[in-house]
Structure 1
Amino acid sequence: MGRIDEVFKKLVELYNGNGVTTMDIATELELSRANVSNDLNRLCEEGRVIKKSGKPVLYTPVKVEEVKENKSKKKEVKLNTLDEFASINKSLYSAVEQAKASILYPPNGMNMLILGETGVGKSMFVSLIHKYAIEMKRFSKNSPLIIFNCADYANNPQLLLGQLFGCKRGAYTGADTDKAGLIEKADGGILFLDEVHRLPSEGQEMLFTFMDKSIYRRLGETDIERYSKVLIICATTEKPDEVLLKTFTRRIPMYVNIPSLAERTIEERFTLINTFMKDESARLDKEIKVSMNSIKALISYDCEANIGQLKVDIQLICAKAYAEYVSGVKDEIKVNSLDLPVYIRKGLYKEIEHRQLWNKLIDINKKYCIFSNENDEVIFEGDKDETNIYELIEAKYHQLKEKGVDDNKVKEAMNIDIDNYFEKYMQKLQKNFNSTFDISQLEGFIKSDIRRVILEVINFSEDRLNRKLSEKVCYGMAVHINNSIERIKSNKKITNPQLNKIRVENNNEFNIALDILKIIERALDITMPIDEAGFLAIFLTYDNEFYKKEPKEVKVMVIAHGESTATSMVNATNKLLGSDYAIGINAPIEESPQKVLDRVKNYIVNNNIKSDILLLVDMGSLTTFAKELEAEFNIYVRVVPLVSTLHVLEATRKAMLGYELDEILQEMLKVNELYITDYEYNEEVIVKDKIKKLAILSICSTGDGGAKTIINLLENNLNYDDNVVEIIPMNLIGKENIEKRIRRLTKEYKIISIISTFDIDFDVMQLSLQDIFVGEGMSLIQKEIDIETTYIKMEETLKSHLKNVKGESILRNIKVFNETVQERLNIKINTNVLIGVTLHIACMIDRLKDGLKAEEFYLKNEFIEEHKKVFDIVKIELNKLKDKYYLGLNIEVDENEVCYVTKFLLNNY
């Protein structure tokens, strides 16, 4: 069953007679809102689903027997223009009904006067009326809509009347020819007179005569009466009784009032923002990302010139964002609140009623609205994708590091996060997939070339593990690999803080994962970071570690110093959320912490609380309550210090939605950054050492023709990344010394091999043509490429994992260690073992800098005795490496560390 069929099936299940929203289905199926929206639109085109416009858009399934009926009909019944407009502009319902009545009134409709402030959309409303009249067949398809602003000619009454009624040649100075007026041109349609109060009394009298009899004369004519069938719609920003003749207003029975922007609902204003943003997206042919703070400001600022000003303001904001995108200041068209003019940004500081409306409209955990002309619905972005471990780890890791949290505590937190992620991920997969793994079920959201690679990876894994992977692990790996590939293609970093731990604890699975990376790289021509092997290894080991846990209710309890500090925050939260979920316990300054704790315990007992508790506290000894409460009541308790109303609001909302305790705790870490999204500081630019590209030189003695032949052979037989390795042709012909030219290349490249018929005075692997064509030259070059590529990849990995030493410098020294040990032991370390050894030694040096020692090696003495020769060589070289980092005489690379490295090298045999 494809995704579109799953969406239709879920729509049928959820339908209760009122219609189902896109978000309802996306939440149930745990799919992206954009994908579900696309599927529903396709179902509408197929006649299987009916779409009802409005906010939110509702979808209704069509019964199977009705589908055939629908196909025989041309189209489903659509709302007319004015009804559709009223469905998303509730405050204009009365105006719409009046307009409809005026158009349908026999025999020719009623003239209208539209009242409203400047910029409320009077002209737009008239264009909708005209369209409606055509739909209802009151006017022909080609009927005119003539728009005339009386203010344009207010200082020249004769010219104004000439524009309206036309003129005879010589009627006034400058009237050189007979000219038809707008009333004549509007015959059979609508004449819209904006700012009609600027029409002089003489003109009003001529106009009401026309409205009475449909007869008029051009200026200067006395003997000719002309006839025109026109519906007159006028508009004014003034009070009609004060600016228009009574005889004129009596001819207009229908007054239609258009409310100002301030009088309209927040939903309507958001709809207008959505419309204007999509217009700009279409104009720029790019999606526009707008921060939630910017949306709130646009919703609430004082827009004195109404919709017209809102539209212009949005155009100017988008123009500024586009200029920053084009000039390279930003990598996308993004609007943050600091980009807004001050008068718009003031909308963020509105009173409490605005904040309550914001909470109804916008989830505070979202950070951006994405507007695109290609999507009917607005996409909200901000919550980290729960199926994307990379975003979760990266955000959490940098948060903790920036806060100066101890490195060991960072790793501990990372371990908990990664374990929780996989546990939750597998639970989700258990719910979604119950049948045998079928790669075709992933069609529609994973591309065919990636699906083929995933199938190869799963078959390879099962072969190496000598067991079948469960369905949930197969689906989990498939989605995960697809996410990682998309992330790499978007040039986003992948970091796994647990990498070394996973490698040590799951060595076999980690080695298989490293080979999986090679499969993906070969098939898709991309470079996979070593960190990704850590995530894949967890999938390969996860089959027997899947748990089922029932989510528990979480109580949110606020404890803060002061007479009413806690209860004030709780009352504000409960009022905003319309509940009494949060609990507040005040801690007066003069009351001892023990008494406060006793009151908390009494509250738990008296209210029979058995659920987990999230304590939100301000400071001091209140942060220590968790362990005592856990011990006494046998429940889980977590503490968040430095509480604010925003913390309470978000924690309570998540608890009410059924989030688990640790999930809410993680969300609390995000709260502080929710409202600083807009503040994009210019970070200090750090110039990094350029990683040199690898080069293979093909040297020909008679010109570069022979060299290019060798290049073609190498390109067809070697597996490498063009971004990492380059094959360069050279010739011996020329004045400049060949060695000098090669040395010049070393400024930009790291040369790993030279292929030539002559010996070159340069210390690098040199191969003859015979080595390439019939010898082992090709495999030797491939091994060198694999090793050097691995080192390049590991440099980035080590930079993000080490605290006390620089990744690039330690990598160079470990590389010397590896080469020396291989030479002394007369071995060649394979790539997977090389990765393990390098990671282990780097982490070892980092630990030694902190004064930490390795765990005791199992049967250490027996192991040393059995492998004495290798052990002694490794020990000598490790101590040389240790000396380079000035660890001091009192810090030794102990025998346990030497044993671990020795074991890695022995795995190579």
Structure 2
Amino acid sequence: MKRIDIVYQKLKELDKGIGVSASDIADSLGLSRANVSSDLNRLCDEGKAVKVGTKPVLFRYVEEISNKREETSLDKFLEKNPSLFSAVEQAKAAILYPPNGMHILILGETGVGKSMFAELIHKYAIEMNRMDENSPFIVFNCADYANNPQLLVGQLFGSKKGAYTGADYDKVGLIEKADGGILFLDEVHRLPPEGQEMFFTFMDKGIFRRLGETDLERKSNVLIISATTENPDSILLKTFTRRIPMIIRLPSLRERSIDERFNLICQFIREESNKLGRQIIVSVNSMKAFLSYNCPNNIGQLKTDIQLACAKAYADFVSNKKEEIKINSIDLPQYIRNGLYMETEHRQLWNKFLEINKRYYVFDKNEENILFEEDSSKDNIYEMIDSKMKELKNMGLSGEELDKEMEKDINDYFEKYFHKVNKIIDVSDIENVVGIEIVQTVEEIIKYAEKRLKKELSKELYCGMAVHIYNAVERIKRNRKIVNPQLNRIRTEHSEEFNVALDCLKIIERVLDVSMPIDEAGFLAMLFAYDGRVVKEQEKKDVKVIVIAHGTATASSMVETANNLLGTKYAIGINAPLDEKPQQVISRLKAYLKNAGIKSDILFLVDMGSLTTFGEEIEKEFGIRTKTIPLVSTLHVIEATRKAMMGYSLDEVYDETLNVNTFLEIERKVDLDNEMKGKISIVTVCTTGEGSAVAVKNILDKHLKYDSNIFEIVPINLVGTESIHTRLRDIERENKILCIVSSFKIDTSIPQYGLHEVLSLEAIKPIQRLIDIENTYLKMGDTLENQLKNISSKSVLQDIRKFIGAIEGELNTKINTNALIGIALHVACMIDRLKGGGSVDEFVDRGKYILENRELYRIVKKSCEILNKKYDINISDDEICYIMTFFNYKTILK
């Protein structure tokens, strides 16, 4: 007989209904605990045993089940709710216990999901062939009849005609209706003592009498699942609770992990999407609020709150207030929005779930995944291997080819692993991520491995191993296999590290009370072997984030907040007191860069003024690349630091940080009348009060000539840390912004003028010119619509505008509006003629004209390539010369 069979027989012998530990079986058989634990876990995989509890883990005998499904409803539920591991294992044990399962009592606060869990148990019983597919699941809330004990007992057990006043006929009770299935008694503490007594008689013998019957005993095969929010010892009769061998406690929402709450939120929103048959779009800040707000009534309240938010968003959609079903944090009740101010308690949100530069998450009724979420399939080696193996097998690879591909991917993974983990998690913050037990395990492993390998291991290995072991243990808890397809290669190529890793498995098993497969030793060996190999090379590519802002502590305060939230010390803050001259500040900056030996790219985040020019001076003197973002906020610092830590390039960090301006989500709504939609806006910005912005608007109104049906002047007041880019984006959703009048420089391509330029009337002329140009193009659209036969007037005008702009840029000049009309008409008709196969008029003395105007010819010909490519035409030298004439007369220049 094999050892595993001996262990199985001993388990059956020793299990008296409460479970047996691996140590008890090992002592009884004289075998090692590790071998027995391994066999017991294999028995669990085969469905011959189940685990109960966590510390110590107990194993219970289960008779062999035929036709076992690969993954049950409870298994799927457990994948996203790992904190309910013990509850799920207990539920499985209760259903599978011979001959007819065990009665169950579920404990938990209001709203933790006791009813839903009972339904999952019923489904599991059907999946495991313990109950018929059509077996009943009947729910009865004892509180509904708590004030009428006779009626309550009559509902459950049935009643005989005349048993009590109003009993006019024989009535079948729920116990009879539930025959062959499950009767779920919710709020069982409201069951009166006489009802409890009748129940424990039924649970003992499987027989009962209807209320009023004395001579007839009835039978029913029913599994009782009861639930209560109260302490059963003080509320229920001991004779009743003694008949319920399996008591399962469900944790409250506050006891469950952020991961699980995130999964619940996604599940509930997706359910609403399915009901509505439409996508539901949820802002990042709304997700943060749902994740963090105080939810005293647990999952039930969370689900209700999400349903109400979805209902409100749907109402706004059907009433045309919104174009989509969209939930923004500003639409949520205040008690939910309060969750936004609790982020310091949930630092991992920044790194794990919610991308700052993703404004919305899109939930679709047909999609299991969420759009706009980053792919996490390669966050750990196990998921990467699962994904890659499946991909390669689908491609038809096998044998040596598959091995080579997997070897390359595993090597690549470990080469980048330390850098990636340490970019996200600091040693000082690691306990917040993986828990104290994992940290203690890693400390013991590091100490042991350093002694055996006779070398000092890096802090990078410390973090990397902590995250890796955390993933490994979580995977094992979910009964997912750990497979290392390169185990033998690792064993031979890294024999010393592999032997140390084998001993480290024993440390993990002892401290964490889990059984680790040998495959895991291969991964630990790779961690030891790759320690210190590539981190230095990678670090040279880092982007430094330096914040410079006016004030005695402005920059350092923003940096401290960002670093604390991210658990790092990455960002650098340089304060610029108001009484310190800019030259003194940049001298301090240069001294810092020299002393720190910084040679990498730098992203400068500054507030305003001369600080925006520091990057250019640093580039000249130090020969390093820089980029600068003005109007810095703490959120900019957080996003820039995150992306820099994760190894993004300077351009990528710059672009992603700029996106914060676009996607900041606590929205400031600009009240625009519906009649103003689609207008062209001149925006006046002020930071000293709305009145100042309105005063500037009045000056512009007085001196500018424009059609109020087409143009408008929008005054806005910027307060606090509010982003000007967010306000501009709000306006751009409805209108086109023609130009901006502001007291400070804004990082945008939109033309802008200073307040002093408006007050002195210097800006009036150039702003009027912009208005005239817009008017010209608007009118040209109507004109060309009737002129052109082969191309779209709207499309071609946009391209002509770019074409003229390119030439103006090269010539460093501006064309007046009259000349603009001539050029636009000529070019539009030329393109239309060439598309229709029309002829080209010869330009007199073409060669001589080109020689006399070589530079202009080069510029126009180059710009014509845009049109050639777009419209699949060939603009000849004759046509180019005609176009040149529009740019070659001083009379047309302004």
Give the shorter-chain TM-score range: 0.5 to 0.7
SS of corresponding position for 2:597? coil
Alignment of 1:252-267 (within 5 A): 252-267=244-259
Partner of 2:789: 785
Cα distance in 2 for partners of 1:621, 1:784 equals 50
CA deviation vs aligned residue, 1:259-281 (integer Å, no higher than 9, x gap): 12222212111211111111111
Task: Return the match for 2:170 from 167, 178, 194.
Answer: 178
Task: Return the match for 1:616 from 605, 623, 627.
Answer: 605
Partner of 1:216: 208
In the alignment, is residue 580 of structure 1 matched against residue 569 of structure 2? yes
Equivalent position amino acid for 1:94 in 2: S
Partner of 1:105: 97
Partner of 1:794: 797
Alignment of 1:623-772 (within 5 A): 623-676=612-665, 678-679=667-668, 681-684=670-673, 685-686=675-676
Structure 1 pair 263–596 and aligned structure 2 pair: CA distance change class (3 A) = same
Alignment of 1:510-521 (within 5 A): none
Alignment of 1:590-605 (within 5 A): 593-605=582-594
In the alignment, is residue 571 of structure 1 matched against residue 543 of structure 2? no
Alignment of 1:183-332 (within 5 A): 183-332=175-324
Gaps of 5+ in 2: 1-66, 376-538, 681-780, 809-814, 837-845, 855-880, 890-894
Equivalent position amino acid for 1:132 in 2: Y
Task: Return the match for 1:136 from 128, 152, 159.
Answer: 128
Structure 1 pair 572–832 and aligned structure 2 pair: CA distance change class (3 A) = farther
Structure 1 pair 859–560 and aligned structure 2 pair: CA distance change class (3 A) = farther
Equivalent position amino acid for 1:559 in 2: I
Cα distance in 2 for partners of 1:279, 1:589 equals 55
Structure 1 pair 250–601 and aligned structure 2 pair: CA distance change class (3 A) = same
SS of corresponding position for 1:84? helix
Cα distance in 2 for partners of 1:791, 1:253 equals 77
1:79, distance to aligned residue in structure 2 (A): 1.9
1:341, distance to aligned residue in structure 2 (A): 2.1
Equivalent position amino acid for 1:614 in 2: L
Structure 1 pair 198–801 and aligned structure 2 pair: CA distance change class (3 A) = farther
1:377, distance to aligned residue in structure 2 (A): 0.7
Contact preservation (8 Å) 2:204, 2:243 = yes
Structure 1 pair 167–567 and aligned structure 2 pair: CA distance change class (3 A) = same
SS of corresponding position for 1:379? coil
1:378, distance to aligned residue in structure 2 (A): 1.0
Alignment of 1:495-506 (within 5 A): none
Contact preservation (8 Å) 1:863, 1:899 = no
Contact preservation (8 Å) 1:214, 1:229 = yes
Equivalent position amino acid for 2:230 in 1: E
Contact preservation (8 Å) 2:293, 2:337 = yes
CA deviation vs aligned residue, 1:375-401 (integer Å, no higher than 9, x gap): 111112799xxxxxxxxxxxxxxxxxx
CA deviation vs aligned residue, 1:30-84 (integer Å, no higher than 9, x gap): xxxxxxxxxxxxxxxxxxxxxxxxxxxxxxxxxxxxxxxxxxxxx9963222222
Cα distance in 2 for partners of 1:815, 1:568 equals 54
Contact preservation (8 Å) 1:566, 1:585 = yes
Equivalent position amino acid for 2:558 in 1: M
1:195, distance to aligned residue in structure 2 (A): 0.5
Partner of 2:832: 831
Alignment of 1:391-402 (within 5 A): none
1:566, distance to aligned residue in structure 2 (A): 3.2
Cα distance in 2 for partners of 1:382, 1:230 equals 47
Cα distance in 1 for partners of 2:666, 2:116 equals 36
Partner of 2:382: none
Superposition RMSD on alpha carbons, in Å?
A: 4.2
SS of corresponding position for 2:84? helix
Structure 1 pair 859–256 and aligned structure 2 pair: CA distance change class (3 A) = farther
SS of corresponding position for 2:544? strand
Cα distance in 1 for partners of 2:184, 2:829 equals 88
CA deviation vs aligned residue, 1:764-817 (integer Å, no higher than 9, x gap): xxxxxxxxxxxxxxxxx9x85237x4378527975999999xxxx999996678
1:252, distance to aligned residue in structure 2 (A): 1.8
Task: Return the match for 2:886 from 901, 904, 907.
Answer: 901
In the alignment, is residue 95 of structure 1 matched against residue 87 of structure 2? yes
Task: Return the match for 1:127 from 101, 119, 128.
Answer: 119
Equivalent position amino acid for 2:365 in 1: N
Contact preservation (8 Å) 2:788, 2:829 = no
Contact preservation (8 Å) 2:823, 2:886 = no
Equivalent position amino acid for 1:794 in 2: L
1:242, distance to aligned residue in structure 2 (A): 2.3
SS of corresponding position for 2:214? coil
Cα distance in 2 for partners of 1:272, 1:818 equals 58
Structure 1 pair 136–901 and aligned structure 2 pair: CA distance change class (3 A) = same
For these two proteins, the number of residue pairs brought into alignment is 519
In the alignment, is residue 379 of structure 1 matched against residue 371 of structure 2? yes
Equivalent position amino acid for 1:348 in 2: L
Task: Return the match for 2:355 from 353, 357, 363.
Answer: 363
Structure 1 pair 608–784 and aligned structure 2 pair: CA distance change class (3 A) = closer
1:207, distance to aligned residue in structure 2 (A): 1.0
Contact preservation (8 Å) 2:292, 2:339 = yes
Equivalent position amino acid for 1:218 in 2: R
1:222, distance to aligned residue in structure 2 (A): 0.6
Contact preservation (8 Å) 1:143, 1:188 = yes
Contact preservation (8 Å) 2:180, 2:220 = yes
1:292, distance to aligned residue in structure 2 (A): 0.8
Structure 1 pair 903–558 and aligned structure 2 pair: CA distance change class (3 A) = closer
Structure 1 pair 560–811 and aligned structure 2 pair: CA distance change class (3 A) = closer
Structure 1 pair 276–328 and aligned structure 2 pair: CA distance change class (3 A) = same
SS of corresponding position for 1:224? coil
Q: What's the TM-score once normalised by structure 1's chain length?
A: 0.51
Cα distance in 2 for partners of 1:900, 1:662 equals 41
Equivalent position amino acid for 1:233 in 2: I
Cα distance in 2 for partners of 1:298, 1:309 equals 11
CA deviation vs aligned residue, 1:513-558 (integer Å, no higher than 9, x gap): xxxxxxxxxxxxxxxxxxxxxxxxxxxxxxxxxxxxx995321122
SS of corresponding position for 2:790? helix
1:315, distance to aligned residue in structure 2 (A): 2.0
Structure 1 pair 750–646 and aligned structure 2 pair: CA distance change class (3 A) = closer
Equivalent position amino acid for 2:628 in 1: V
Structure 1 pair 610–686 and aligned structure 2 pair: CA distance change class (3 A) = same
Cα distance in 2 for partners of 1:312, 1:249 equals 32
Equivalent position amino acid for 1:578 in 2: G
Partner of 1:420: none
SS of corresponding position for 2:346? helix
1:283, distance to aligned residue in structure 2 (A): 1.4
Cα distance in 2 for partners of 1:121, 1:815 equals 70
Cα distance in 1 for partners of 2:327, 2:803 equals 31
1:226, distance to aligned residue in structure 2 (A): 1.3
Cα distance in 1 for partners of 2:886, 2:343 equals 65
Q: What's the TM-score once normalised by structure 2's chain length?
A: 0.52
Contact preservation (8 Å) 1:370, 1:381 = no
Cα distance in 2 for partners of 1:600, 1:120 equals 55
Alignment of 1:71-90 (within 5 A): 78-90=70-82
Structure 1 pair 209–861 and aligned structure 2 pair: CA distance change class (3 A) = closer
Structure 1 pair 784–91 and aligned structure 2 pair: CA distance change class (3 A) = closer
Contact preservation (8 Å) 1:551, 1:660 = no
